[in-house]
Amino acid sequence: MRVGFIGLGNVGSKLAGSLLRNGFDLVVRDLDRSAAAELEERGAGWADSPEEMAASAEMVITCLPSPAASAAVMEAGDGILAGFSSRGGNGGAEAPIWAEMSTTDEAEVRRLAGLVSTAGAAAVDCPVSGGCHRAATGNISIFAGCDRATFERALPVLTAMGRNILHTGGVGSASILKVVTNYLATANLVSLCEALVTSKLAGIDLNTAYEAIRISSGNSFVHETESQVILNGSRDINFTMDLVQKDLSLFAAVAERAGVPLELSPVLIDIFEDASARYGPREWSPNVVRRLEEATGVSVLAPGFPAEMVDDEPEVPGREVIVDRA
């Protein structure tokens, strides 16, 4: 099966690497061709344009930093839609698939999905969750929003990139759940920063504080990952302030359309606006803790924690997660 992959950033390069490792005929593209060098050395092909890729691939994946970037790749004169249209298809079982793995706006992904359908292809929004370290090993989780027939056609590709694959409903549903989960992760990160700084100033050894949280009701995925790089001092989780701001704005937009009067979300937006202004939008997101370190005059550092997260679990075949609606 020929798969095209556009967007070889921190996450995209690792997802594309999983496809190569699992034997797919892979064609790649990025604005910076040097980002594709390692994948090309391992056997991936190169497409000179998204149109060229979409004219021949059975699935084209986009993994890009913003909704605007996805729209540009899709709708440009030499974009994916042009490539799909050139095939002269009418949809159906053999239609090519556009898989949007970016974190994006659900209204925008539905708009683009309509254009994909008109071009004779099928669409699925399938963002990932679980961190770059799990993307590297094929153990990340993937949400997939599309009709059931498209999901079953896409599943062999998705299970090559991820461990747990959840069919979330129609197109756009996966994007909603992605920003919901990223919102929760951000809230958890900010609360952990406060917890660690408070523990330090209260005289608690930070290695002990980490373990107390880990074995208690306060534990979370964010604690077991981001707290470690905070305490190491690297703060490197391969995720930046500007991406947090994008995700928070996407969540706020979903909530506004649903008529939800948010209370915590505006506070988080203010915190990250301040942190981005202080440290730069491309600073690692866990360095939001610096706001509290500077305000209190302490550093939350402890020995024995890694500078970056590495997934030490073996790669296992991906599977669909079945929702029990009994």
Q: Which DSSP string corresponds to 188-212?
A: HHHHHHHHHHHHHHTT--HHHHHHH
- Tell me which of 3.40.50.300, 3.40.50.970, 3.30.470.20, 3.40.50.720 is the CATH number of domain 2-171+315-321: 3.40.50.720
pLDDT of residue 88: 82
Residue 279 host element (H or E): helix 264-279
E strand or H helix at 177, and its extent? helix 173-201
Tokens of 120: 């004779």
Whole-angstrom Cα distance, residue 13 to residue 75? 23
pLDDT value, residue 78: 98
CATH number of 177-296: 1.10.1040.10
pLDDT of residue 93: 62
Can you read off the two tokens belonging to residue 250? 């996407």
168: nearest Cα among 184, 155, 185, 151? 151
pTM of the model: 0.95
Inter-helix orientation angle 173-201/206-214, to 10°: 140
| Interval 82-132: pLDDT, tens | 999 999 876 666 899 999 999 999 999 999 999 999 999 999 999 999 999
Q: What is the pLDDT of residues 128-148, one digit of tens each?
A: 999 999 999 999 999 999 999
Confidence of residue 324 (pLDDT cuts 50, 70, 90): confident
pLDDT (0 to 100) of residue 50:
98
pLDDT tens digits, 227-273: 999 999 999 999 999 999 999 999 999 999 999 999 999 999 999 99
- Residue 275: the pLDDT is 98
Which DSSP state fits 288? Answer: G
Buried b (16+ CB within 10 A) or exposed e, 138-160: bbbbbbbbbeeebbebbbebbbb
Task: For residue range 150-164, list pLDDT tens digits in order.
Answer: 999 999 999 999 999
Annotated domain spans of the chain: 2-171+315-321, 177-296
What is the pLDDT at residue 90?
65
User: At residue 103, what are phi and psi to the nearest 5 degrees?
Assistant: -85, 115
Q: What's residue 91's pLDDT?
A: 64
Percent of the chain's residues with pLDDT above 70: 99
> Can you give the pLDDT at residue 26?
98
Averaged pLDDT, 273-281 = 98
- C-alpha angle 126/128/133, rounded to 5°? 155
| CB environment 272-309: b (16+ within 10 A), e (fewer) | beebbeebeeebbbbbbbbbbbeeeeeebebeebeeeb
- What confidence tens digit (pLDDT) does each residue in 178-222 have? 999 999 999 999 999 999 999 999 999 999 999 999 999 999 999
Hey, what's the torsion of the CAs at 150, 117, 103, 262, to 10 degrees? -100
